[in-house]
Structures are given as C-alpha cells and as structure tokens.
Chains A and B, each alone.
Chain A
C-alpha cells in the first residue's frame, strides 16, 4: 500500500504543474468565453437597435430571443473535448516518458521490489484522479459562469433555464445522478486501460508483432460486438433487455481480459 501511495504521489508530482496549468487555462478560457458571448450579444443588440431603429424587444426577437445560458456556455463543449483529448494523450505520456525521459525512469520502476501491478495501479489512479478533477473543476466553472451570466446580463435579456443550460455535452456529463457519474468514470477507466494495453504491447514486442497484437485485441472487442448485433437482428433470440445484458457482460469480460493482459505484459514481457 505504501508503495502504491508513494508511486501515485510520484506520478502526480511529475505532472503536477502541467495539470494545474491546464485546469487554470480551462477555467480562464471558459469564463472568458462567457464574458465574450454576453458582451457580443449585447453589442449585436445595440447595433440592431441603432441601425434598424428597433426597440429592444424587437431587436431581441430578431436575435431569436434572449441569450440562454446554453448560448453563453457554447464554447464549453470544445473545452470538454480538449479535456478528453488531454486525458487520452496523458494516458500514453504517463508510460512513454518513463522510457524516453532523460533518466530512463522505467529502470528504477521495474527494479523496485514488490509486485509490478502497483506500477500499473498507480498510473491508472493518477489518470483517474485527473479525470475526476476535470469533472469537478468543470462543475465549479459552470456555477461560476452562471453567476457571471446573471451578473453581466440584464435580467430581461436572460432566458430561464436549468442550472447547466441546454448544452448537450454538459447535460451528458452532469445528469445529477451519482450512478451516471460512476458510469462516466467506468467508461474513462475502460478507455485508459485500453491505452495502457496498447503502450505495454508496443513496449513488449517488436514493431510488426506489436501492431498485430494490438489489431487482434481491438478485433476481439469489435468483431464479437458486430457478430452479436448481427445474430440478434437476424434471429431475435433475445429481447432488447436481454441483449443489453449480454453486451454489458461482454464489455465487463473484455475489461477483465485487457486488465489481466496489462498485468501479464508488465510482469513477463515488458522490456526496457
């Protein structure tokens, strides 16, 4: 356990500045985007009133109504996409920096006494904690943006909406159901473990064989899925609820398989 905490802390420490910079950038860009959207809307409104000699009500109508919170947070979806991209890239980087870094840190890691699974778990925990941080900070940014929107925009130009607005991306991420948050984190865990498997496979075999092994593992996920779909469509053996159960079981079994494979590669195959 001590080794796990020590390694996790070490991983976090190595990316601490980068992570905090990205979080800060995310908050600043998002808050700025809200200010920009509100000011842009108001300037369009004033322009319309001046040029077309309209009353404020008529100008609002021409702009398709008041500015919704969803409109004000329109850029958030791009920031969320950047956050997801960062997480995936970081899942690669957390391994490769150990091989390609100046100090060849991987030597030290693999030579450490105790089970190597701790190395895997500490890296997995680090990426997951970062994902949780992203989600949490994004939530706080939404709350701050809401305040900013209400403060900057006169009340009659605001449109009533729920706390997170109408953005599909935000509504998917924040359903206000704890189970959904865990489903999102489980999905993140699955993707991160897949990335880890790709890296460890690439580090364990020579180029050609590594590519073939990765292709085989991806096919192991996709081919049965397509086959099951085809079988269910063709035969209607199972009703939709039973089909969902089969799909979920398959994903769970596949996840156990890739986790086991990651541990196996790290214990027996990975070369320095």
Chain B
C-alpha cells in the first residue's frame, strides 16, 4: 500500500471530490407531478392530450404529461442535445423535403407545410402531428419562381382539399398574392394579386363564403405601426371590418374551425383571473361576441398557454409557483369539458409549458 501512496492520494482527491459533485447532482430533486382531475367528460380523450413542461433549473429536464396521469420525464444532456428535437417531430422524408433550400415552410395548428415552387410545377407536402399523416402532391402550373431571399410563401387557411396560400414578393414593389391549391384536382388557381403601397404589410387570415379576410398594417417612415385593420374582400368590393378595429393592432383574430367566423384567444385580460375568455367575430351579424367560462382557480396570465385543436380550446396556466390548471373548453357550447390540476409534489418553481399536442 505504501508503495502506491502518491497514486492513492491523487486518486482519492479526484474520487472524493468528483463523488461529492455526483452526490450533489443526485440530491437535486426535480418535479414530481401528478394529475388531479376536477371535472372530466370523456376519460378516453384525456390520453390524447400531451403537455410538455420544461424546467429552468440547473438540471434541465423535460416532462411529458398526459391528462390520464401518465408522466414521463427526461433529463437533457450533451448527447440528447445533439439530436435536433425539431427534426425528431417529423418523418425523415418530410424533414428532408423541408430542409431543401428552396422550400418555404409554414405552420398552422398541428400541421406543418412545405411548398417548393418550380417553373412548371409546385410541390406541396404537409404533415399533421396529431394524426401523424403525411400528404404529398405535385401540382402543375406555370409560376414565376420566387427569389428565396426576397419572397415568402405560407399557408394561411385549409378547407379540406383546398389550401390557401399567401405569396409575398418583396422586390422593389411589394406584391401580395393569394393562391388556391386545389389538391383534389392538382391545380393552382391564383385568387388575388395586389400591389401594396410602400410601408404596407398584409396578412391573409381566412377564406369563406363571405370572401377573403386579411389584416393590413401601415407603417410610417420610421417603421412604427400607423394603422391596422381587418378587411373583407368579397370579389366585388373591399369592406373594412370596423367591428374588429379595436383588435386589429394585436392581430389576434384567426379563422375559427368552421371558417364562418373568426376567433381570438389568449389576449391579456388581467394578471390573475378565474375566467378563461375568448372572442368571436360573426360575419353574418358583423359583431364581436365575448365568451367566457369560469375555472376552479384563479390563474396567472403570465406564462399561460392557449391553443385550439379539434374545436376545443386548451388552456394551461400556473395557479401558484409550481402547479398548473388545465382547462379544456368546448367553444361551441361554452362549457368546460375537462378541468384538472397538474400538481408538483416537490413544489418546484420556474416551470414553463413548452408545447401541447392533441392526437386524433
């Protein structure tokens, strides 16, 4: 033993100090979540909701929580960090298509779209995370190939096999075009093409029986927003939707699922409230209607997460430093179809809802 004195000393320094570090790391407690359901209508549907929560601790961990009580946690490390989680969300060939330099990508709800415009054809790919279904179609049409640096293409509305696309060309003159991709017939139909004024921006929102809805923003010479408004173009004339003027600067109204109305959710109300609110705009009556349901607990607006999927509004928000209240609202009949609390038995702070997915 004496012969190895130096080796034992140096080995002990390394061993004991590193073990104390490992011991400290092991003593760091993560969150210990449990789901406490207060109100539920359809237990089977709960399995389909997955809530991803991440911590801001020194030991980075991701928690996947299903409302039926299944919880998985995964600590992040350098190896897992190398594997891109964005790519992991998609099938390999779909991601490969998205990665191509001339493909324009956009997202709407659970769907991700990739559009590649060539001189004589348009390649359309989409992937739905909730159904895990991929769709591919090549549509033949003569189009000017957009300059990747000076153009943008995004899907803003989908009605079955009809996909509505906004194409912006930011050349010397700003031009905004609406294309209808008729996936059933394999055709591209240009619906509208507008030369915009300088310092003007347009976002197409929805297409329905009443016409095409878009939001237009005008900036002054310094780039500060001057005016914004929603417009309805019915093919014969353009009408400013005055009922939405008060909401236009936020731009929170989007097409509702039936596309016959617009819906806005997740807008600031008050820092602590029990009410979960959303607004709808009805084209028929030309009016904005406020809706609300009362949750069990007052929640914190800051850090709350709201989304709409399959006609339901999913609202997740902190009710204290560590617990979350989950509310699933049926927007059609303004009722709560599920409410529950994601409780952290270790009461850890600084958790953030990263993503919510609802599978079909």
A residues in contact (CB < 8 Å) with B: 5-6, 8-9, 12-13, 16, 19, 23, 129-130, 132-133, 135-137, 139-140, 162-164, 174-181, 183, 236-237, 239-242, 244, 248
In the complex, which residues of chain B have a beta carbon less than 8 angstroms from the beta carbon of A133? 10, 13-14, 17
Interface pair A136/B13, CB less than 8 Å apart: yes
Residues of B within 8 Å of A241, CB to CB, are: 83-84, 87-88
Interface centre among A174, A175, A183, by most chain B C-beta atoms within 10 angstroms, is A175
B96 within 8 A of partner (CB) = yes
B78 at interface by CB-CB < 8 Å = yes
Task: State whether A132 touches B18 (Cβ < 8 A).
Answer: yes
- The interface-forming segment of B1-9, B116-124, B160-168, B204-212 is B1-9
Residue of B10, B28, B87 touching A16 (CB-CB under 8 A)? B10
Name the distance in Å between A233's Cβ and chain B's nearest Cβ: 9
Q: From A5, which residue of chain B is reached at the shortest CB distance? A: B4
Number of interface residues of B (CB under 8 A): 38
B268 is an interface residue with CB less than 8 A from chain A: no
B20 with A140: CB separation less than 8 A:
yes
Q: Specify the main secondary structure of chain A where it touches its partner.
A: helix
CB contacts (< 8 Å) of A181 on chain B: these are 18, 21-22
Complex partner residue of A240 from B60, B75, B79, B87, CB under 8 angstroms: B87
Please determine whether A236 and B21 come into contact, CB atoms closer than 8 angstroms: no
* Docked complex Cα distance between A16 and B28 (Å): 34
Residues of B within 8 A of A244 (CB): 82-84
| A118–chain B nearest beta-carbon distance, Å | 15
- How many whole Å from A103's CB to the nearest CB in chain B? 19
- Are A9 and B6 also in contact (CB < 8 A) when A136-B16, A178-B25, A241-B87 are? yes
B265 is an interface residue with CB less than 8 A from chain A: no
B58 at the A interface (CB under 8 A): yes
- Count chain B CB atoms within 10 A of each CB in A23, A178, A239 and give the residue with the most: A239
Which of B7, B15, B28, B100 lies in contact with A176, CB distance below 8 A?
Answer: B28
Given A183-B79, A241-B83, answer yes or no on A19-B25 (Cβ-Cβ < 8 Å): no
**In the complex, the 6 A-B pairs of residues with the closest C-beta atoms, listed nearest first:** A136-B17, A132-B14, A176-B25, A133-B14, A9-B7, A240-B84
Q: List 30 A-B contacts (CB under 8 A).
A: A8-B7, A9-B4, A12-B6, A13-B6, A16-B10, A129-B10, A133-B10, A133-B17, A135-B18, A136-B17, A136-B21, A137-B17, A139-B20, A163-B24, A164-B58, A175-B59, A176-B24, A176-B25, A176-B28, A177-B59, A177-B60, A177-B77, A178-B22, A179-B77, A180-B78, A181-B18, A239-B95, A242-B92, A244-B83, A248-B82
Chain B residues with CB under 8 Å of A178's CB are 22, 25
Task: Establish whether residues B7 and A177, one from each chain, have CB atoms under 8 Å apart when the complex forms.
Answer: no
A residues near B16, Cβ cutoff 8 Å: 136
| B11 interfacial by beta-carbon distance below 8 Å | yes
Q: Does B310 contact A (CB under 8 A)?
A: no
A236 touches B99 (CB 8 A): yes
- Chain B residues numbered 83-130 whose CB sits less than 8 Å from any CB in chain A: 83-84, 87-88, 92, 95-96, 99-100
Q: Which residue of A lies closest to B96 (CB)?
A: A236
Contact with A along B51-87 (1 / 0, CB 8 A): 0000001111000000000000001111100111001
- Please indicate the chain B residues that have their CB under 8 angstroms from the CB of A137 in the complex: 13, 17
Query: CB distance A23 to B13 under 8 Å?
Result: yes
Residues in A with CB closer than 8 Å to B4 are 5, 9
A74 to chain B, nearest CB (A): 19
Task: Report B93 CB to chain A, min CB distance, Å.
Answer: 9
A residues in contact with B24, CB < 8 Å: 163, 176
Which residues of chain A are near B9, meaning CB under 8 Å?
A: 16
Report how far A174 CA is from B28 CA in the complex, Å: 13
What residue in chain B is nearest A185 (Cβ atoms)? B18
